[in-house]
Amino acid sequence: MDHFIYRDSTLHAEDVPVRDIAAAVGTPFYLYSTATLQRHYQVFDQALAGMDHLICYAMKANSNLAVLRVMADMGAGMDVVSVGEYLRARAVGVPGEKIVFSGVGKTAEEMRVALSGGIRQFNVESEPEMQVLNAVASSLGKVAPITIRVNPDVDAKTHAKIATGKSENKFGIPITKARAVYAQAAALAGLEVVGIDVHIGSQLTELAPYEHAFTKVAELTQQLRADGHDIRRLDLGGGLGIPYSRSNITPPLPLEYGEVIRRTVGHLGCEIEIEPGRLIAGNAGLLVTKVIYVKEGEGRNFLILDAAMNDLIRPAMYDAHHDIIPIEEPAPGSTLSPFDIVGPVCESGDTFARQRDLPTVESGDLIAFRSAGAYGAVMASEYNSRPMIPEVLVSHDQFAVVRPRPTYEEMLNRDKLPEWMAQ
């Protein structure tokens, strides 16, 4: 469910007409709904009701400070994968004890910043990382709380580029080595083992891979406790999928996901951590863009937009589908025609959709990409020297620009000529 609906024949974000935002801000822009972000957090919280748990929003999905503040105000922790994300979380008031640091390539400096500022735990991904973290913690006179990320060799049945739980993926240590690696960790004075971490991928549309992975984690928990480790937290990752198309198969609900957690690990008495990102932010956002030209080609017609692959890379990178709708509601029974929907970047890959049926559109019309709140703005670039597009947050009948569009001068001024060229 989201809060983008047609009302009085025009698309609204909560109580604000999208066309009014476009008139004020210019296109293209990202648009987020506070009410949708809040609702999606609440459904996860309800799914784990009665269990000791913490929902750590995976901020790599959308790290705008205003979005993070919405999450923080709901009581969310944060899952970060860089020191930049860590500092963003702290900037919106998230305490260190609610921040989990994930990622395969944490540097010593990143570890130092997080240990100095406060951290709930590091999700350690390799033996070399464990040794570096021990050295950094010891140099600061601290003890770093850790889980170790295990790779359960489970096929998440998702896109190959976002699968993380198979043996050939770069993430975690093989679950078959876990007992030996935990023994190494227990022998290091700068580390405190607090739990186990697992994450098998993103945009999962089936529950069976979770059940398989969590069952393995439950078995490992009992083995590690028998070895003398105090396993009191289970970080089960995130990855639950969203419906990118209203005609596609609907992914499982958070409530069903919660039942899998109860069934597989609920008897262990551990605090449960989950790290949803896409499901919280994805359907809470639109990409709003304007048609520059309607171009007639040989055998097909094109809609050329002012948004491009540098603004939304997912279709080019993952062959991802986004529903595309007009801002002004088509009349019932409107004729649909197929279009290739493309941007202005000089790449054939700058194609959002091929032969997508849409009602009649003209130059200047506004359209929106649904489900664009996750992995949209955070993956954008200035390719072709196109300025980053603004981000807007709506709450009830108000809207605000929460990241402005830079001017061309601001974009150019980030480059510096060397002194010998200054003349």
**What would the CATH number be for the domain defined by 34-279?**
3.20.20.10
Sign of CA dihedral 381, 72, 201, 178: positive
Which residues lie below 8 Å from residue 20, measured CB to CB, with a gap of 6+?
none
Query: What distance in Å separates the CA atoms of residue 232 and residue 141, rounded to the nearest whole number?
Result: 24
pLDDT band at 205 (very low <50, low <70, confident <90, very high): confident
Long-range residue pairs from 297-303, CB within 8 A, at least 24 positions apart, any chain: 297/340, 300/338, 300/339, 300/340, 300/355, 301/337, 301/338, 301/339, 301/340, 302/339, 302/340, 302/341, 302/342, 303/339, 303/340, 303/341, 303/342, 303/358, 303/361, 303/367
The answer to which of 114-128, 232-246, 274-288 has the lowest mean pLDDT is 232-246
pLDDT at residue 168 greater than cutoff 80: no
CA distances 353 to 22, 224, 246, 282, 329, Å, are 23, 49, 16, 18, 20
* Active-site residue set: 346
pLDDT band at 241 (very low <50, low <70, confident <90, very high): confident
Rounded to the nearest angstrom, the gap between the alpha carbon of residue 321 and the centroid of all alpha carbons in its chain is: 16
The answer to which of 226-230, 237-241, 407-411 has the lowest mean pLDDT is 237-241
Average pLDDT (121-133) is: 97
**With left for phi above 0 and alpha for psi between -120 and 50, is residue 82 left, alpha or beta?**
beta
pLDDT at residue 249 greater than cutoff 70: no
Query: Regarding beta strands 233-235 and 191-197, do their DSSP bridges make them parallel or antiparallel, or are they unpaired?
Result: parallel
So what's the pLDDT on residue 141? 98
What is the tens place of the pLDDT at every residue in 5-28?
Answer: 999 999 999 999 999 999 999 999
pLDDT at residue 94 greater than cutoff 60: yes
Average pLDDT of the chain to the nearest whole number: 93
Higher pLDDT, 102 or 297: 102
Question: Among residues 305, 288, 253, 302, which one has the least CA distance to residue 391?
Answer: 288
The answer to which of 202-206, 212-216, 320-324 has the lowest mean pLDDT is 202-206
Q: What is residue 263's DSSP assignment? A: H
Query: What distance in Å separates the CA atoms of residue 403 and residue 381, rounded to the nearest whole number?
Result: 14
pLDDT at residue 246 greater than cutoff 70: no
Cis peptide before 252 (omega within 30 of 0): no
So what's the pLDDT on residue 247? 57
Average pLDDT (52-69) is: 98
Average pLDDT (111-133) is: 97
For residues 122, 127, 133 and 138, what is the CA-based torsion angle, rounded to 10 degrees?
130
Helix (H, G, I), strand (E, B) or coil at 297: coil
- Both tokens of residue 260? 């899998």
So what's the pLDDT on residue 159? 44
Average pLDDT (408-421) is: 94
Query: What distance in Å separates the CA atoms of residue 253 and residue 257, rounded to the nearest whole number?
Result: 6
Average pLDDT (61-71) is: 98
Query: What distance in Å separates the CA atoms of residue 312 and residue 372, rounded to the nearest whole number?
Result: 8
CA distances 151 to 195, 200, 207, Å, are 14, 8, 17
pLDDT band at 172 (very low <50, low <70, confident <90, very high): confident
Q: Where in the chain is the domain with CATH 2.40.37.10?
A: 4-31+282-413
- Find out if CATH 2.40.37.10 is the number for domain 4-31+282-413: yes
Average pLDDT (376-399) is: 98
pLDDT at residue 165 greater than cutoff 70: no
The answer to which of 117-121, 159-163, 175-179, 393-397 has the lowest mean pLDDT is 159-163
So what's the pLDDT on residue 235? 97
Q: Which residues pair with 80 in a beta bridge?
A: 101
pLDDT at residue 157 greater than cutoff 60: no
Percent of the chain at pLDDT > 90 equals 87
So what's the pLDDT on residue 248? 62
pTM: 0.94
Q: Which residue has the tokens 């480790």?
A: 229
Average pLDDT (206-218) is: 93
CA end-to-end span of the chain: 58
Q: Which residues pair with 398 in a beta bridge?
A: 395
What is the tens place of the pLDDT at every residue in 252-298?
Answer: 899 999 999 999 999 999 999 999 999 999 999 999 999 999 999 88
Long-range residue pairs from 21-25, CB within 8 A, at least 24 positions apart, any chain: 21/288, 21/392, 21/394, 21/399, 22/288, 22/290, 22/327, 22/366, 25/390, 25/392, 25/401, 25/405
- Both tokens of residue 28? 């293209």
pLDDT band at 70 (very low <50, low <70, confident <90, very high): very high
Average pLDDT (329-353) is: 94
Question: Among residues 27, 28, 38, 36, which one has the least CA distance to residue 4?
Answer: 36
